[in-house]
Amino acid sequence: MNHGTQKTRMRPGSLLFALLIGASMAWADETCNSPYMSGLIKGQEDFIHVWTLGEPGLGDGSDKLVTIDVNPASSTYGKVLATVSVGGRGEAHHMGFTDDRRYLWAGGLDDSKIYVFDVGTNPGRPRLVRTITDLPDKSGFVGPHTFYALPGRMLIGNLSNSTDKGGVTGLALYNNKGKFITKYDIPTGTVGGVQGDGYGYDIAINPAKNVMLTSSFAGWNNYMRSLGEVVSDPEAMKHFGSTMVAWNVKTMKPTQVMEVPGAPLEIRWALGGGQNWAVTVAALTSKIWLIRQDTKGAWAAKEVGTIGDPAKIPLPVDLSIAADGKGLWVNTFMDGTTHYFDLTDPEHPKETYQKHTGRQVNMVSQSWDGKRVYITSSLLSKWDKAGEDNEQVLRGYKWDGKELTPAFEVDFTKEKLGRPHHMKFTAKAAGQLAYADSAR
Amino acid sequence: MVAAAGVLYASVASVAALAAVDPGAAVAPRMEFTPPRAGSYVLQKIQLIADATLLDPAGKPTRLSVATTGRITLLTFFYTYCADPLGCPFAYHTLTEVRRGVVEDTRLTKRVRFLSVSLDPTTDTPEAIGRYREMVMRDSTMEWNVLTARSVRALLPVLEDFGQDVSVERGPDGTPRRALHHMLKMFLIDHSGVVREIYTLAYLQPEVILNDIRTLYLEEHSRG
């Protein structure tokens, strides 16, 4: 069977299989999904959904979910199969599956709207089924960024607040039906002797340790302003996150603040084989940080590596950890380079490969087996490059452990789609029939 | 608990080689922390349960709203013909661990129930779930109810409301087979019928579930 969508089945043999999946998905980077999510794709993904920023004057100008066929065995491999426009432009950015992988929640960093797409019924033809507009009113937060599945719920990491549009923000919890449940402020006071800055960005949970990590970026005032203006404004440059927070997942209370200067962004846990560490990358300082427990059980962040030449501000953005935790892809936006680090010793990441993959590159995602790597180009509408350097593409590569070989490319400008940002995979439910369609 | 986890670990590790891609040593869901004290945290109100009519082992119509109120309820979906005679081995193991703790805490025994709802009303007739209930109740007096539905059609809204994904295995000719695929979930429901926690495989930890039950008990008790 080519497709690997695997779900929990409650027969003994399948139970073990399910345990394997459940235990593994947390550190797989198919790649950065919540450990509470089912249906990990271990085989060939069929589709990539790309949450795409609308571009004025290009196509309908709206943010949209673009679905691309990425199965090499398909006659439409590398082609756009479907687009679902949301009818407005709100700075499309990140998205995340619900725990059952049936729905994809996607957020707008500018308008704070959240769109829920049904990708379970027919993954090749997603449908917009719900729009959530009450995040600012209910939580006081704006800029929904990370969508992290909890059982029956969606935990949303935000970037800003509706009062001053600065970086102090928090997490919002919704149930899967789109109803707001509660919110959690990211600490601005001292926790564990370290001063919090209240900033937010990514979320990553290690269930075995009952710990959640959050990272920190910047508020609306910075991310909706041109990058050139921000970097030339000393006051604006003071308003980037410089902390990570460890939380008790059960109580949802912060237990530690850790100093990680330079805007730590994406967080990836490596939980396999007794691993209980996570990595992040600080965008402004171009450093890799390792988060692990010290001998007393406290979480500690340690700088362990450098990406490119920090003096040139290569701006490392997205990262993708290998399924076994032994490798890490990192994209640096400014120089358009995709880097591979050997993480066999996470205390000493070693760059073993790099390739120029575009004039600007942002997101990077790899398949479970690591043989396919996908990149997109757009960072933020106000931060993307201009003119000829404003290349807007999705590129698919094959990875043999030594070389990234181009497999296909979709030119989002030529196709009049917009600026491609976050990617998520789906697969056809091979060998399964929807319960409602069964003859039982 | 530790021994059981060890068995699961060994079992899972033995099938790791069957996976399409070996991600490294596989492990069963682990618990490497001390759960926070019961009552020291709040369980959020995740969702109200939509009502439905199901069938009890006598074939008598039973309102789900009645079956899930008045006590703290731990609800799980299952089907009786899992290869294990008691079905759903891991879920069952977890439930029996939790039941042991409930029975040992005399405050809880008459305030907690388990509720198992069959995913396959075609096979799991009232008689079939009656036999299942006899098995699960054999060694305990703690309330453990079992319900089924008149039909798949009658069950679908319940599954949709709980967000319980189910699909049917298809044979090479495309026809449905008996095996059901579904995400293992347990739902902790307070005495007023509100879902307060949902456990999936990543953290089906009996000690945590028991503390959550105690937290709901203390919450109710503090209100008098």
- Token pair, residue A222, equals 């910075």
My answer on whether B166 and B197 are in the same domain is: yes
Handedness of CA A347, A348, A353, A359 (dihedral sign): positive
Q: Which residues of chain B make contact with A39, given a CB cutoff of 8 A?
A: 183
A252 or B4: which carries more pLDDT confidence?
Answer: A252
Label residue A27 by pLDDT band (50, 70, 90): very low
**Which CATH number covers residue B175?**
3.40.30.10
For residue A278, is pLDDT > 50?
A: yes
Could you tell me which of A314, A311, A318 has the C-alpha nearest to residue A362?
A318
Residue A10 has its nearest CB partner, among B19, B27, B88, at B88
Exposed (0-12), middle (13-18) or buried (19+): which is A203, by Cβ within 10 Å?
buried
Q: With 90 as the cut, is the pLDDT of residue A42 above it?
A: no
Residues B107 and B131 in one domain: yes
Residues B144 and B209 in one domain: yes
Residue in A8, A120, A432 nearest the CB of B184 = A8
On whether both B62 and B129 belong to a single domain, the answer is yes
Structure tokens at A271: 């939980």
Same domain, B64 and B154: yes
B111 lies in the same domain as B14: no
Q: How many residues can be counted in chain B?
A: 224
Residues B14 and B98 in one domain: no
pLDDT for A432 equals: 66
Nearest CA in chain B to A184: B44
Collect all residues with Cβ–Cβ distance below 8 Å to B38 and sequence separation of at least 6: B211, B212, B214, B215, B218
Asked whether residue B103 falls in the same domain as residue B15, the answer is no
> Which residues of chain A lie closer than 8 angstroms to B23, CB-CB?
24, 27-28, 272, 323-324, 368
Q: Which residues of chain B have pLDDT under 70?
A: 1-28, 82-88, 224
A contact test, residue of B40, B93, B155, B203 with most A CBs within 10 A: B203
| H-only helix segments in A182-339 | 220-223, 227-231, 234-237
The torsion defined by the Cα of A234, A240, A243 and A244, in degrees rounded to 10, comes to -160
Query: B9 is in which domain, residue-wise?
Result: 1-30
The count of C-alpha atoms lying within 13 angstroms of the C-alpha of A408, restricted to the half-sphere facing its C-beta, is 15
CB A288 within 8 A of CB A260: no
Cα separation, B74 vs B55, in Å, equals 18
Model confidence pLDDT, tens digit, residues A168-196: 999 999 999 999 999 999 999 999 999 99
Per residue in A297-316, pLDDT (tens digit) is 999 999 999 999 999 999 99
Looking at residue B175, its pLDDT comes to 76
pLDDT at A273: 62
Convert A299-316 to b/e letters by CB count within 10 Å (16 or more is b): bebeebbebbeeeebbbb
* pLDDT for residue A349 is more than 60: yes
Do the chains contact at B163 and A324, CB–CB below 8 Å? Answer: no
Take residue A162 and report the two structure tokens written for it. 């509706």
In DSSP terms, A66 is beta-bridged to: A50, A83
Cβ–Cβ below 8 Å for B163 and A98: yes
| Cα–Cα distance, A328 to A433 (Å, whole number) | 36
Q: How far is B158 from chain A (nearest CA, A)?
A: 12
Contacts of A274 in chain B (CB under 8 A): 25
Nearest to A432 among B29, B169, B208 (CB): B169
pTM value is: 0.90
Q: Is A293 helix (H, G, I), strand (E, B) or coil?
A: strand
Asked if B11 and B95 sit in the same domain, the reply is: no
pLDDT at A424 > cutoff 80: yes
| C-beta of residue A187 within 8 angstroms of C-beta of residue A169 | no
Q: Please give the Cα distance from A378 to A420 (Å, whole number).
A: 6
Long-range contacts from B15-20, C-beta under 8 angstroms, 24+ separation? B15/A13, B15/A16, B15/A17, B15/A20, B16/A20, B18/A17, B19/A20, B19/A24, B19/A42, B20/A4, B20/A42, B20/A43, B20/A369
* Subunit contact A10:B182, Cβ cutoff 8 A: yes
Same domain, B164 and B144: yes
In this complex, the residue of A13, A152, A252 whose CB is nearest that of residue B198 is A152
Chain B stretch 163-202, residues whose beta carbon is closer than 8 A to a beta carbon of chain A: 163, 165-170, 176, 179-185, 187, 195, 197-202
Please give the sequence-ordered ranges of beta strands (E in DSSP) within A307-349, or none if there are none. 316-321, 327-332, 337-342
pLDDT tens digits for range B91-147 = 888 999 999 999 999 999 999 999 999 999 999 999 999 999 999 998 788 999 999
Residues B6 and B53 in one domain: no
Give A426's contacts in chain B (Cβ within 8 Å).
Answer: none
Q: What φ, ψ does residue A216 adopt, rounded to 5°?
A: -145, 135
> Residue A440: which of B12, B18, B120 has the nearest Cβ?
B120
- As for how many domains chain B has, the answer is 2
- B41–A24: do the CB atoms touch at under 8 Å? no
Q: Does B58 touch chain A if contact means CB atoms closer than 8 Å? A: no
Residue type, A277: W
In chain A, which residues have their Cβ closer than 8 Å to the Cβ of B6? none
Q: Which residues of A touch B78 (CB under 8 A)?
A: 10
Residue A14: predicted pLDDT? 35
Note the residue count of chain A: 440
Least confident of A215-219, A432-436, B39-43, B67-71: A432-436
Q: Taking CB atoms and an 8 Å limit, are A207 and B20 in contact across chains?
A: no
The pLDDT score that the predictor gives to residue A12 is 30
Question: Two tokens at A132?
Answer: 């959530």
Residue A431 has pLDDT above 80, yes or no: no
Please choose, from the candidates B93, B155, B68, the residue with its C-alpha nearest in 3D space to the C-alpha of residue B119. B155
Q: Say yes or no: B24 and B111 in one domain.
A: no
The single-letter DSSP state of residue A295 is T
In tens, the pLDDT along A350-407 reads 999 999 999 999 999 999 899 999 999 999 999 999 999 999 999 999 999 999 999 9
Q: For every residue of chain B, which 3-state class applies, written as one string? A: CHHHHHHHHHHHHHHHHHCCCCCCCCCCCCCCCCCCCCCCCCCCCCEECCCCEEECCCCCEEEHHHHCCCCEEEEEEECCCCCCCCCCHHHHHHHHHHHHHHHHCCCCCCCEEEEEEECCCCCCCHHHHHHHHHHHCCCCCCCEEEEECCCHHHHHHHHHHHCCCEEEEECCCCCEEEEEEECCEEEEECCCCEEEEEEEHHHCCHHHHHHHHHHHHHHHHHCC
Sheet containing A327-332: give its strands across: A316-321, A327-332, A337-342, A350-356
Q: How far is B75 from chain A (nearest CA, A)?
A: 14
CA distance A185 to B77: 35
